Amino acid sequence: MPAANARSATPDGPPDGLPFPEGFLWGASTAAHQIEGNNVNSDWWQLEHSGDGTIAEPSLDAADSYHRWPQDMDLLAQLGFTDYRFSIEWARIEPAPGHFSRAELAHYRRMVDGALERGLRPMVTLHHFTLPRWFADRGGWTAEGAIDLWERYVRATAPVIGTGVRHVCTINEPNMIALADAIRRLGANPDDNQEPSATPLPDKATTDALIQAHHRARAAIHSLSADIEVGWSIANQVYQPLPGAESATAAHSHPREDVFIEAARDDDWIGVQSYTRTRIDKDGRPVPAPPEAERTLTGWEFYPQALGHALRHTADIVGAVPLIVTENGIATADDTRRIAYTTGALQEVTAALEDGLDVRGYLHWSALDNYEWGSYKPTFGLIAIDHDTFERTPRPSAAWLGGLARTGVLPRA
């Protein structure tokens, strides 16, 4: 991709800011369960309504985007965005084993067509954390025959992704899925030996199954269309060593992150998802941010530089595989801090581009305020949602970022 964006050049000379490549993906991301509402056939819906107190707040109607997706896409296009990443819901498409809903496949195809009609390039995620209840009940990813069932679903999505979709993300944050499985296993078997005083290791069987599932999906999608570029997105924790902790940090990072990045070395692209950093001591333990650090509504350290570290770390592992920032943002009630954070993150992207990294796009998390896996309190959205009326209100950050999408230039600080 060329290093300059023709839209950013002034008639008399070079751009007055930091230009992004021509064709750069400027977008925002969402996930079906977090915005659609009433995903009643999923394992998460079942967990939300189990009554065991595990989940503080159920998703219920979410942002009602299952019905209001045209309005959401209208807003993104009007704001100036060129790309929209959304997921399709396996639990809707295959609510019972082997039963594929023609109505739901048609619904998601209408979303693809709707994006294209509005000038938004759709990036479709096939799995974003939620599973059909029947798949979860039979043991999930590590059950016998699970990968075959997953491939059957992937092939069934051909009417949705077969034409007009250039980028398909197979699985969102597989490292977080494997970690969640480890936490569930430890809850059921508290005497299992994991690393003391550290975050648990992702479940090894789940890790292996997800990598196999990704590779099977990649082959299946390529067989559907050679025009589709396939990747998956990894949650980058940006493990930073304290003095003397370099080897401990590398050992900490590999099973939690790097093994999933390594699995993408033959992909068409890889999704980089970054929010904050995690500092590691010489014993391989995470160290909290200092008390004076600014924190977001999720309790994470305000650290936009994390994205630059994540891009470079990923590139060091995958080599020439193109990078796409598929999630980056903060939960905040102060939209000026969202703009400040995103400005810092985009400065990291431009620095990576200037150093020769092949970064193809930036998709903000999230397009809308949404259900953050147990709570509506963390507001990540460029567009605010009134959960009583479902009214959408773009924040100033949405107009600001959409304006950057129009010009392709980040003004110099």
Q: 152 with 196: CB under 8 angstroms? A: no
**pLDDT tens column, 304-344:** 999 999 999 999 999 999 999 999 999 999 999 999 999 99
**pLDDT tens column, 45-71:** 999 999 988 899 999 999 999 999 999
CA dist 176 and 167 (Å) reads: 22
Is pLDDT above 90 for 14?
no
Give the tokens for residue 72.
């959401």
* Stretch 282-307: mean pLDDT: 96
> Alpha carbon 412 to chain centroid distance?
28
Is pLDDT above 90 for 44?
yes
| Domain 23-407 in CATH 3.40.50.670 | no
The residue type of 357 is: L
Q: 141 with 180: CB under 8 angstroms? A: no
Neighbours of 227 (CB within 10 A): 11
Is pLDDT above 80 for 10?
no
Work out the widest C-alpha separation in the chain, in whole angstroms: 70
Q: By three-state DSSP, how is residue 376 classified?
A: coil
202 CB contacts (<8 Å, ≥6 apart)? 175, 178, 179, 181, 182, 255, 256
Q: 252 with 280: CB under 8 angstroms? A: yes
Neighbours of 96 (CB within 10 A): 11
Higher-pLDDT residue of 200, 98: 98
pLDDT, mean over the chain? 94
Beta strands in 188-238 (DSSP E): 229-236
* Stretch 260-284: mean pLDDT: 98
| β-pair type (270-274, 229-236) | parallel
Torsion angles phi and psi, residue 26, rounded to 5? -110, 110
